Structure 1
Amino acid sequence: MSRILKNSLVQSETRYQLLATVIVNIITFAHGVGVGWLSPTLTKISSSDSPLNFPVNIDEVSWLGSMLGLGSLFGNLTIALLIERAGRKFCIYLLAGPYACIWILIYCASNVYFLYAARFLCGFTGGAGYVVVPIFISELADSRIRGALTSMVMLSVDLGILAGYILSTYLAFHIVPFLAIILPVAYFIATFMLPETAPYLLKHHHFTAAEKSFRYYRNQRSAICEEASKDEFEELRTAVLAQQTKNSTPLSYKDLTSKPALKAFAASVVLSMGYQFSGVFSFINYMSDIFKASGSIVDVNTGTIIIGVVQIIGVYTSTILVDIVGRRLLMLISTLGVGIGCIAFGCFTLIGESYDLSDLNWLPLVLMIFICYLGNIGLIGIFFLVLVELFPTKIRSIGTSISVLFLSVLVFGSLKIFPLMLHYWGISYTMWFSGVSGLLTFLYFWLFLQETKGKSMIED
């Protein structure tokens, strides 16, 4: 009980950390809305009575999906150039503009290229946000709750995906943009109240501002807390300056090829490949098509919304457990479960081609619930937390950016080929490919992934 209370997010000294996390995650929620919007919308715009007066074909569908990865690539490159120069807070402000343009483009769409541009900007927001938001949160958060706060990134994304599923299923095509554009406006206004993180300010020798930021995020602004606050801040200041002295030489090729750096990059490569090739992210984007291909009795849009709820439960589970059981165990359970679930899904659909399985046509929904729940407690839920914690302090920003850059390439490729795989390979072989990828990722993590729970964000 005492351990749970110690890790509570609503303690007096951590309430502003929670508030800041909720505020910056408005944009990750908004990104989720943009991602979830696509799946039910594809059914509408692929039909002869498309609300856009131009039905899209299979090739255009694959480009609509993959534009998310291309946008993520450019978003990541932009943030990689700005995050250490302009600061975390400026990069957070930057996300509002491109996101607002998404819904303007969708509302005004007169041909498929408007939708391509909107999906590109949705990817740009995600690619940039997945780098700066976890770093921002990890630098302001107390180490004992850092895992829970950082995993709220994907919880917010999943909540947004569910909202996107519901909005695009039950509302007219041109109504959704009017509601969604409220999010970037609210986000931009709310982030004005947040100070820059203390570690970033200390690195740039803004000591007074750093102390104010430190005291704000730890709710230490009363006279009683002043002495304790000064002592804690001095510990942080000493640690940051010592680390800066240790890393006083400019970042070089040797820093990126040291043994700890190479181990971190290897783990990040496998993590990214497992995330994409296991299919858990592609399923989110093409859920309606998967249910249609599986022969499930459940209405495709209803099934998609159910999975959206399951994703939220999965990420919420990881938020509760990540600082208790650690990162490694959740990743092992997640990858093993996804691998087994996808192989079982593929076997069911293959057998269904030769035998009458109408009495079991509820099974695809159950299997997808199993896959998505376990995928979200690890591979999705704590992906960016583990990614940030893998790298040594000196190369954390550049290492995270390079990793998300690689991830963006994989997102582009996987979302481009997934609908084509469904179309040409069929659902069974597509799911088996995902299952084998999940099991290979499990094997690597079992052998090589190190636990990063409690790791310092200041010292190596």
Structure 2
Amino acid sequence: MTKILQNSLLQPRTRYQVLATMIVNIITFGHGLGVGWLSPTLSKIQSPSSPLDFEVNIDEVSWLGSMIGLGSLCANLTIALLLERAGRKFCIYLLAVPYACLWILVYFASNVGFLYAARFLCGFTGGAAFVVFPIYISELADTSIRGALCSLVMLSYNFGVLAGFVLSTYLPYHVVPMLGICLPIAYFLANLKLPETAPYLLRQGQLSAAEISFDYYKNPTDRKAKQTTKCDFDELRTAVLAQQCQNSEPLSYKDLITRPALKAFGAAAVLCLGLECCNVYSFINYMSDTFASSGLALDANTSTIIIGIVQIFGVYTSTLIVDIVGRRLLMLISNLGVGLGCIAFGCFTYCAEQYDLTAFNWLPLVLMIVIIYLANIGLIALFFLQLVELFPAKIRSLATSISVVWMSILIFATLKLFPLMMFHWGISVTMWFSGAWSLFTFIYLLFFLPETMGKSMIED
């Protein structure tokens, strides 16, 4: 009970940490809205009654899906250059611009090129946010709730995906972008008063600004709390100065090939492969088409909305228990469950082609619920937190960006290939392929993934 109370997000000490997390996650919600918007919209813009002046074909659909990966890749490279030079706050502000342009392009689309550009900007927003936000939150959050706050990044993203599924299913095409454009305005205004993180300011030599930032996020409410906060800040300052003395030499390629760095890169590379090659992200982007191919009796768009709700419950579960049971256990359960679920899904669709299984045509929805729920308690919810915590402090920003560049390349490849795999291989082989990758990831992580719960963000 004591540990649960210590991990509570409702303590006065953590009030502004939670507030800052909620504010920056406005844009994560918006990114989810942009991702979820695509799935139900595809069926509309591929039909003769398209709300636009053009229809899209299967090849254009695959490009629409995959452009988000190219956008994410460009964002990762941009953020890698800016994160340590310009700071976390500047990068956070930056995200409002491409996100606003995304909905302008969707609204005024006169050919498929507008939609390609919109999806590119959607990927740029997400690719930048998923690098900046975990680092920003990790540096301002208490260790006891860091996992829960970082999990809120994916929780808000999943709320956005659900909103995208619902709004694009039930509202006219041009109404959704008018609602979406409100988010970057609210995001920019809400961020105005949030200070830069104390660790970053200390590394820049801004001692007084760092102390003000630290006091703001720790929110001491009485004399004893202020004294404790002062001691905590002195410890942080000492740790940052010690780290700077230890790492007085500029960052070089040799820092990237130390034994701890290579072990972290190996785990990160496999995590990226596991997340993308298990095709969970592709399922989300093409959920309506996946259900239509499975022979599901229920309406595909309605089932897609149900999956959006399941994602939220999955990440919420992770938020509640990640700082109690740890990261490693949730990652292992997640990968094993997704692998077995995908194989079972493929077996059902294969058998449905050979035998009359109409009495069980609800089963694809149940299996997809299991897959998405288990993916969200670990693989999705903790992916970016795990990346941030794996790497040594000196290379954390650069190494996280490199890892997310690798992930973005995989996003582009898997989203481009997924509809083509479904078209040429069929749903059964595609699901077996996805399950095999999840099981491979599980085996690797079982032997090589360390537990990072409680790890210091300053000391290696």
Partner of 1:340: 340
Give, in angstroms, the shift of residue 253 of structure 1. 1.1
| Aligned partners of 1:390 and 1:452 also within 8 Å | yes
Q: 1:92-139, CA deviations, whole angstroms, 9 ceiling, x for partnerless residues?
A: 000000000000000000000000000000000011111001100000
Partner of 2:363: 363
Q: 1:327-352, CA deviations, whole angstroms, 9 ceiling, x for partnerless residues?
A: 00000000000000000000000110
Q: How does 1:28-427 map to 2 (within 5 A)?
A: 28-220=28-220, 223-427=223-427
Q: Which runs of 5+ in 1 are unaligned?
A: none
SS in 2 for 1:172: coil
Rounded to whole Å, the distance in 2 between the matches of 1:229 and 1:435 is 48
| Aligned partners of 1:215 and 1:221 also within 8 Å | no
Rounded to whole Å, the distance in 2 between the matches of 1:214 and 1:368 is 43
Q: 1:231-263, CA deviations, whole angstroms, 9 ceiling, x for partnerless residues?
A: 111011000110111111011111000000000
Give, in angstroms, the shift of residue 229 of structure 1. 2.2
Distance 1:221 1:83, change over 3 A: farther
Rounded to whole Å, the distance in 1 between the matches of 2:43 and 2:111 is 17
Give, in angstroms, the shift of residue 230 of structure 1. 1.7
Q: 1:279-316, CA deviations, whole angstroms, 9 ceiling, x for partnerless residues?
A: 11110000000000000011000000000000000000
Q: How does 1:12-27 map to 2 (within 5 A)?
A: 12-27=12-27
Supply the AA of the counterpart residue of 1:229: T
Partner of 1:442: 442
Rounded to whole Å, the distance in 1 between the matches of 2:327 and 2:390 is 11
Supply the AA of the counterpart residue of 2:194: L
Q: 1:352-382, CA deviations, whole angstroms, 9 ceiling, x for partnerless residues?
A: 0010000000000000000000000011011
| Aligned partners of 1:338 and 1:372 also within 8 Å | yes
Supply the AA of the counterpart residue of 1:458: I
Give, in angstroms, the shift of residue 2 of structure 1. 1.1
Rounded to whole Å, the distance in 1 between the matches of 2:294 and 2:438 is 20
Rounded to whole Å, the distance in 2 between the matches of 1:61 and 1:277 is 19
Supply the AA of the counterpart residue of 1:439: L
Rounded to whole Å, the distance in 2 between the matches of 1:208 and 1:452 is 31
Rounded to whole Å, the distance in 2 between the matches of 1:76 and 1:398 is 10
SS in 2 for 1:53: coil
Task: Give TM-score scaled by structure 1 length.
Answer: 0.99
Give, in angstroms, the shift of residue 265 of structure 1. 0.3
Rounded to whole Å, the distance in 2 between the matches of 1:110 and 1:260 is 51
Supply the AA of the counterpart residue of 1:325: V
Q: Which runs of 5+ in 2 are unaligned?
A: none
| Aligned partners of 1:76 and 1:401 also within 8 Å | yes
Rounded to whole Å, the distance in 1 between the matches of 2:438 and 2:450 is 18
| Aligned partners of 1:88 and 1:132 also within 8 Å | yes
Distance 1:236 1:303, change over 3 A: same
Rounded to whole Å, the distance in 1 between the matches of 2:222 and 2:95 is 34
Rounded to whole Å, the distance in 2 between the matches of 1:102 and 1:209 is 35
Task: Give TM-score scaled by structure 2 length.
Answer: 0.99
Rounded to whole Å, the distance in 1 between the matches of 2:148 and 2:310 is 19
Give, in angstroms, the shift of residue 228 of structure 1. 2.5
Supply the AA of the counterpart residue of 2:377: I
Rounded to whole Å, the distance in 2 between the matches of 1:226 and 1:346 is 58
Give, in angstroms, the shift of residue 221 of structure 1. 6.1
Distance 1:102 1:140, change over 3 A: same
Supply the AA of the counterpart residue of 1:23: I
Supply the AA of the counterpart residue of 1:369: I
Rounded to whole Å, the distance in 1 between the matches of 2:8 and 2:337 is 29
Rounded to whole Å, the distance in 2 between the matches of 1:126 and 1:58 is 25
Rounded to whole Å, the distance in 1 between the matches of 2:39 and 2:46 is 11
Rounded to whole Å, the distance in 1 between the matches of 2:225 and 2:387 is 34
Rounded to whole Å, the distance in 2 between the matches of 1:6 and 1:220 is 16
SS in 2 for 1:24: helix
Rounded to whole Å, the distance in 1 between the matches of 2:30 and 2:162 is 11
Supply the AA of the counterpart residue of 1:48: P
Q: 1:3-57, CA deviations, whole angstroms, 9 ceiling, x for partnerless residues?
A: 1001000101011100000000111000000000000000100111111121100
Rounded to whole Å, the distance in 1 between the matches of 2:154 and 2:366 is 22
Rounded to whole Å, the distance in 2 between the matches of 1:221 and 1:120 is 45
Supply the AA of the counterpart residue of 2:32: G
SS in 2 for 1:85: helix
Rounded to whole Å, the distance in 2 between the matches of 1:292 and 1:224 is 61
Supply the AA of the counterpart residue of 2:238: T
Give, in angstroms, the shift of residue 395 of structure 1. 0.2
Rounded to whole Å, the distance in 2 between the matches of 1:134 and 1:325 is 20
Supply the AA of the counterpart residue of 1:390: L
Q: 1:413-447, CA deviations, whole angstroms, 9 ceiling, x for partnerless residues?
A: 00000000001100000000000000000000111
Supply the AA of the counterpart residue of 2:211: E
Q: 1:165-220, CA deviations, whole angstroms, 9 ceiling, x for partnerless residues?
A: 00100000000011011001000000011000000000001000000000000002
Rounded to whole Å, the distance in 1 between the matches of 2:162 and 2:120 is 20
> Aligned pair count?
460
Rounded to whole Å, the distance in 1 between the matches of 2:330 and 2:225 is 37
Percent identity for Structure 1 against Structure 2: 69
Rounded to whole Å, the distance in 2 between the matches of 1:111 and 1:180 is 20
Rounded to whole Å, the distance in 2 between the matches of 1:20 and 1:302 is 34
